[in-house]
Structures are given as structure tokens and as C-alpha cells.
Amino acid sequence: MLSKNIETALNNQIRIEAESSQIYLAMASWAETHGLEGVSKFMYLQSDEERMHMLKIIKFLNERGGHAKVTDLLAPKTNYATFKEMFEEVYQHEVFVSESINDLVHISLTEKDYATHNFLQWYVAEQIEEEAQAKVILDKINLIGDDKGGLYLFDRDMQELTQRNATAK
């Protein structure tokens, strides 16, 4: 049985994962309307992944005797000056999500809820990957600078990355 403290914390993480899905969906739409097909496909896939992260917590919470709550979400930003700005926000958002997961792990240990702690280890590993991927993408964007040819190749690389990620999942 979950403590109320853990149930509340997990419900907060459900909201964060749902908002993450919405953020990436809005980014996908922005990229799509700016001719960045590869970036758009990448963001659509990221949005789907975040939704799956949310569903995984919902199932865990309900199976452990809690009640997963679906709440209002903050509206995501829908416009960016540049694709670099968008990916800077991706990186900062992933850092925020990692901090939230780490807080959840801390709560689970404080409450001696080792089942929840074990469940959360998948999210810890996932966030390491998400942050690293966002950082590598940002590094590539910084290498490109204002080179339009570089942007074209970057967008094509993002499309290939998305296809590899989709195949691997």
C-alpha cells in the first residue's frame, strides 16, 4: 500500500509527464510548420514517449492501491524564435524532469517504499539517456551555427535518428 505522500508525489509526476508530452507535441507542430520534417518527426516520437511514461506511472499507482489522477495541464509554448531556442528548452526541460524523478526517488527511500524505489529506477536510467541525447543535439546545433546547409543535414540526421529510435523501441 502506498503512503499518501508517495501517492501525491506520483500524481505530480503524472502531470509532469503529461505536460512533457504536450510540450513536445507543440514543438513538433512548430517544427512541422517551419519545414523541419526530421525535427518534427523526432518531437512527435518524444511526445509519444512521454505519454507512455505517464501511462506507466498511472498503472503502477493504481495497481499499488493508489488512485492516479488526471488533472489540468499548463498550456505549452507554441512558438520559438529559432530551432536552437527550442532545443535549449528541451534540454532544460529534461534537466527539470530528472530533478523531479530524483525527488521522487528520495521520497521513496525516506518512506522506505522499496517497491516504488525499484519502479523509479527505470525512470532514472531513462532520464540519463534523455538528458544526454538533448545535450548531444544541442552541441550539434551549436556546431552548425547559421549555416543553412548544416541545418538541412541536421534535419535529415534527426529524421534518421527518429527512425532508429522508433525501430529500437
Binding residues: 17, 50, 53, 94, 127
Q: What one-character-per-residue DSSP string does the chain give?
A: ---HHHHHHHHHHHHHHHHHHHHHHHHHHHHHHTT-HHHHHHHHHHHHHHHHHHHHHHHHHHHTT--------PPPP---S-HHHHHHHHHHHHHHHHHHHHHHHHHHHHTT-HHHHHHHHHHHHHHHHHHHHHHHHHHHHHHHTT-HHHHHHHHHHHHHHHHHHHHH-
Binding residues for Fe cation: 17, 50, 53, 94, 127
